[in-house]
Structure 1
Amino acid sequence: MGGLLSGLDQSLISGANLYMPGNLKLNANQASLVNSGMPLGAVAGALILSPINEYLGRRMAIIVSCIFYTIGAALEAGAINFPMMISGRLILCCGLGIEGGTVPIYVAESVPRKIRGNLVSLYQFNIALGEVIGYAVAAIFVSVPGNWRYILGSSLLFSTILFIGMLFLPESPRYLMHRNRELESYAVWKRIRGFSDYSSKEEFLDMRQVVGSENTHLQSSKRFAWTELLTDPRSRRALVYANIMVFLGQFTGVSAIMYYMGVLMSKMNFTNKDSVFMSLVGGGSLLLGTIPAVLYMERFGRRFWANTMLPGFFIGLVLVGVGYRIPYETHPHAATGVYLTGIILYMGFFGSYACLTWVIPRESFGNKTRSYGMTTADANLFLCSFIVTYNFTRMVNSMTKIGLTLGFYGGIAVVGWFYQINFMPETKNKTLEEIDDIFSKPTSAIVKRNIKQTTGIIKDLVSLRWGKVFAPS
């Protein structure tokens, strides 16, 4: 439900963009700020993520985010001028920053290792589903007078449902253990996981031992957890890795393309009304793209998934750029067909890739620094989203549309692909405590292992042993 609400609020603005700026008499800079106000407000939410998570817990942090969502949506729906609209956007998105960083942590800390990647990926699926619902809501209200107010105000329903649901859910057992509430942690673990099988008992005991040693180390060293992120080599590796993956997920352009979907469609000579309906194409592709990740990421692994999906949405970017180059006046069907094919490929492959940007940061940090590490990752995510979205119009004007999509976004995708091949560790089917061991090794050891694995994959492909590569056990 948290992912659904997040995706809904990210896509509702696309339909509202076609009517709200004119109704409120916003100039171009104010309209850009309203769009980019979402990631900017989310940065503020991300910055208070760690204190809220540390002192209130995962469950209460999500409840606090629902309150921000509700207040912000009410201000948006009732806005009569730019200050009221931007205030509503910032408050709502502050809730997004808190919720977006907390829900995947809550899931990752509570579920078995064999399905952790799938269930955290389900968060991205629900984001995509929420985006499709947002586009559908815009299509429903597009012909209603005052349409954009109903569009933006519709998120009130979903934030209320999430708020009520969280009242009945328990706290994360790892958070309780981290706060030395061992008996409560045991009770929650028994309720949500049970102790009927050996792996569950082993994971609970491992968690107890690792979290206990981390707490003892932190108390004896008398250092703050923030300091650990920079001074502890294990935490520093996770910090760099998680934030680079987040950067790649945003600076390949998805936020700008998603927020301006309706506007981009209108530039392909669709009417405003048709642009709202055509936005469902991109949103639907993003939704369908997340399904393979939810089902198969844990089977194929993080490295395979990242290095397969990134070239796929690069091809989509190429087609989007080519679509812009085809003159619509003389070849309308070719221009529209190539552009939409590019959007479908880009959003579809990115839907699968985006799951990694939620899974990787949540499992990379150790228990003692997870809240603080997620503050940096979430703030980085939304700050990158703000930069890409706010500067989208200026970058299009200075680089041209094909220069931006193919040259800038596509170039970052290519560089990122080589980074993943060399520096991305594999963490599938490992407990959060076992992942600690991976990041405790020097970066050179991780790179050496990755090069050896990549060389083996290339040999298998050349020798036509494709089953070994594409159908792992």
Structure 2
Amino acid sequence: MFTCVLAALAGLMFGLDIGVISGATQFIQAEYQVSDHTIEWIVSAMMFGAAVGAVGAGWLSATLGRKRSLILGAVLFVLGSLLSGFAWSPETLIAARVVLGLAIGLATFTAPLYLAEVAPEHIRGAMISTYQLMITIGILVAFLSDTALSYNGAWRWMLGIIAIPGALFLLGVLFLPDSPRWLMMRGRRDEALDVLLRLRGDSSVVAREAADIEEQLKTPQRGWHLFLENRNFRRSVWLGVLLQLMQQFTGMNVVMYYAPRIFKEMGYDTATQMWFTALVGLTNVLATFIAIALIDRWGRKPILYTGFAVMAAGLAVVGTMMHNGIHDHGTQIFTVTMLLTFIVGFAMSAGPLIWTLCSEIQPLKGRDFGIACSTFTNWVCNMVVGFTFLSLLNGVGNANTFWLYAGLNAVFILLTFWLVPETKGITLEQIERNLMSGKRLRDIGR
């Protein structure tokens, strides 16, 4: 449990880095006297770094090992945080954000992989869910920290202070064991057995699990060749790409990165903007428990239908209120409530479920390649969203911007119906058989 929770803290670093920039942008803009376009560069530089980090993470985690990859990610996170806090120009800050992105791209690939390989079977799902929960907690902690520091406009402290949890994470990771699966892959069987015995404490369980790992390793990863040769595998890869595109273009990260600016458009002062931003983070954390509770009871598609419908309605109402004008306290509170409703819709559906589906639909021989493609897509789309939001606000207006995202969520309901399979209660092996036999994508979970 200690090993798994410590590894899941990589998600906390991820959440801190997402959340911390939100409260800092207005103070950065005031100090450096830069345009909205430069702010978009500062925000989206992290996602560019994460996309690059995610591409190299597979090779690094296989070559260096899961533990050393996490150590490297923690070191980059601390360095990027400190450089952000001491940045002497917008260009330096952009470079620091790229370094942070490299750390996050590496950690977001490696941490769930490490968790899946060290957690015992009966708590594996809970531990991977803990990683997702840690991301939302990290966002909330960052929002609260930004709110406390906003009274002095201390944006350097906002960005630099997250080096402290990064350093603590680095210290903790040094005491983690290597992944037994990775040790087996490198031919270090005796070390792998020793680690498994420390993790499990039962020699009979260790023998059975070691045999399972050795059997799995007989199926080599050949994703790129499979992608070129097999049409059915290409379908699952493109579905994973589409799912991540759907997740990012819901508009959720627009709120995560630019929440104070959105509340400013509603007519709130700086202090209130920051407190409402913290409320966004709290809502995100609490609503994630809805997904954890319902995913294996309702199934994937009903939750996605519900989530996309709630998000479309919430953003449509926010856009309408901004179009009509927010003139009094009552309309302000109503608009904030609808924005929080949108947050609930995302956190209970597309937030955690898209990652689950992306891992379920890929066949074993190409799973690493398929998940790498969808993870890269996530960060590229994330970067596009972060890089375009302020331009959209300035170009087409706040109402039209929110209506655009509402319309996209409505389209995603249709795409879910046409293309997304229901994978509740079916084994990964059966999903793979259905996919490779040529069944329609939406039927591969039957």
Q: Same fold (TM over 0.5)?
A: yes
CA distance in 2, matches of 1:32, 1:289: 28
Task: Describe the shift of the 1:142–1:30 C-alpha distance in structure 2 as closer, same or farther (beyond 3 A).
Answer: same
Asked whether the 8 Å contact 2:250–2:311 carries over to 1, the reply is: no
CA distance in 2, matches of 1:261, 1:110: 37
Equivalent residue letter for 1:85: L
Asked whether the 8 Å contact 1:247–1:381 carries over to 2, the reply is: yes
Structure 1 unaligned blocks of 5 or more: 219-223, 454-473
Residue 252 of structure 2: aligned partner: 254
**Pairing partner for 1:123 from 106, 125, 131:** 131
CA distance in 2, matches of 1:90, 1:76: 10
Q: Does 1:80 align with 2:77?
A: no
Q: Does 1:379 align with 2:408?
A: no
SS of corresponding position for 2:112: helix
1:234 Cα offset (Å): 5.5
**Pairing partner for 1:290 from 285, 288, 292:** 288
The 5 A counterparts of 1:56-455 are 56-111=64-119, 115-144=123-152, 147-193=154-200, 205-212=211-218, 214-215=219-220, 225-233=223-231, 235-329=233-327, 332-353=328-349, 354-366=351-363, 368-406=365-403, 408-428=404-424, 436-437=432-433, 439-444=435-440, 446-448=441-443
SS of corresponding position for 2:250: coil
SS of corresponding position for 1:17: helix
1:96 Cα offset (Å): 0.9
Residues 368-387 of structure 1: CA deviation (Å, up to 9, x unaligned): 54443333222211110111
Asked whether the 8 Å contact 1:206–1:433 carries over to 2, the reply is: no
What is the number of equivalent residue pairs in this alignment? 437
Residues 161-204 of structure 1: CA deviation (Å, up to 9, x unaligned): 22122222233344444445444444444443566899x98776
Equivalent residue letter for 1:310: F
Residues 292-345 of structure 1: CA deviation (Å, up to 9, x unaligned): 22334234433333233222222222222222123223xx23431231111111
Question: What is the TM-score of this pair, normalised by structure 2?
Answer: 0.88
Residue 456 of structure 1: aligned partner: none
Asked whether the 8 Å contact 1:34–1:85 carries over to 2, the reply is: yes
Residue 11 of structure 2: aligned partner: 3
Equivalent residue letter for 2:216: V
Equivalent residue letter for 1:395: L
Moved more, 149-158 or 349-358: 349-358
Structure 2 unaligned blocks of 5 or more: 1-8
Residues 251-287 of structure 1: CA deviation (Å, up to 9, x unaligned): 1111112111011111212112221111112111111
Asked whether the 8 Å contact 1:50–1:374 carries over to 2, the reply is: no
- Over aligned residue pairs, what C-alpha RMSD do you find? 2.8
Task: Describe the shift of the 1:14–1:428 C-alpha distance in structure 2 as closer, same or farther (beyond 3 A).
Answer: same
Equivalent residue letter for 1:393: L
CA distance in 2, matches of 1:315, 1:113: 39
Asked whether the 8 Å contact 2:36–2:390 carries over to 1, the reply is: no
Equivalent residue letter for 1:158: P
